[in-house]
Amino acid sequence: MIQQVGELDSMSHFFSPKAVAAAMGVSESSLKRWVDKGLIQAEKTGGGHRRLQLDSVLQFAREAGKPITRPELIGLPEGLGSTALFGDGASTEFEKALASGDEITARRVVLDLYLNNTSVATICDTIITPGFQKIGSMWHCGSMEIYEERRACETCSRVIHELRRAVGTGMIGGPEAMGGTLDGDPYTLASCMTELVLRDCGWRANSLGNMLPFETLRRALERDRPRLMWLSVTSIRDADRFIASFNTLCETATSHGSAIVVGGQALTADIRRLLRYTTYCDNFQHLEAFGKSLNPRN
């Protein structure tokens, strides 16, 4: 499918058919045929040359099972394809990379899984979250320094950024979602992952960041009217105030037709009993199922 410049997000990354063909180890004419069949999205430059979107190329490679043999030609890390994808290989490698701040390995493991057609939700639940559980317990029992834990968070943020480049900005015309963490909650990773999981299911999802006052989220619902707002809750300062403000926010969402989706370690069964929301998810695979059910075009 060939689109005009301007319809595509300016943050997407574009490559020539020649570079993509070389990266995939196929002829340029095969590649152009796939573009003409609409299997890979492209735009045309003023001079009439095709430019291919990285996320669309990777989506095609994922679904068609085509390996990227020269990843460096399209700005991806070298060494892709060398992760042991079965058994505990990938999670052990990722966990060690997080603990030592080895960003190159962490990126490679996650991108290999993604290109092997593992959903973003599954990568987050089975590789990234367990990696942080391990980091948390090492920190708790004193076998990890604070700087090492913070380095793991920074490393992971950069890996998520890389994955975002691969996933793209979501389906054109897909439903809108936004969300983040609430006032007093400094945790960033789960909300960034929520954004990616929803984008992977075709949603136009945007993370609003962390420490958001309830009042500003209420305004976001009124002004932007997203189909879905997510809230990731890892830390609650004052439970009574939290519950009251949360339920007011949910009333606003209901009156504007927005779903409220929540998850996070602080939402214990006792707290959840007192909250109103559309759905609670224990993990990202639950979110993926919910997100797909509300976006059946996927």
Comparing CB distances to ligand B12, the nearer of 70 and 132 is 132
Comparing CB distances to ligand B12, the nearer of 61 and 281 is 281
CB of 35 to ligand B12, least distance (A): 35
Comparing CB distances to ligand B12, the nearer of 41 and 295 is 295
CB of 149 to ligand B12, least distance (A): 6
Amino acid, res. 65:
G
Distance CA 90, CA 85 (A): 6
CB of 53 to ligand B12, least distance (A): 27
Comparing CB distances to ligand B12, the nearer of 172 and 239 is 239
Say if residues 235 and 185 touch (Cβ distance below 8 Å). Answer: yes
Distance CA 249, CA 262 (A): 12
Comparing CB distances to ligand B12, the nearer of 194 and 252 is 194
Token pair 């519950």 is at which residue?
A: 243
CB of 160 to ligand B12, least distance (A): 10
Distance CA 126, CA 93 (A): 13
CB of 95 to ligand B12, least distance (A): 12
CB of 248 to ligand B12, least distance (A): 19
Comparing CB distances to ligand B12, the nearer of 3 and 143 is 143
Contacts with 290 (C-beta within 8 Å, 6 or more apart), sequence order? 261, 279, 281
CB of 183 to ligand B12, least distance (A): 11
Distance CA 163, CA 112 (A): 11
Comparing CB distances to ligand B12, the nearer of 74 and 123 is 123
Binding site for ligand B12 (CB under 6 A): 124-125, 129, 132-133, 135-137, 140, 149, 153, 186-190, 193-194, 230, 232, 234-235, 261-265, 281, 283-284, 287
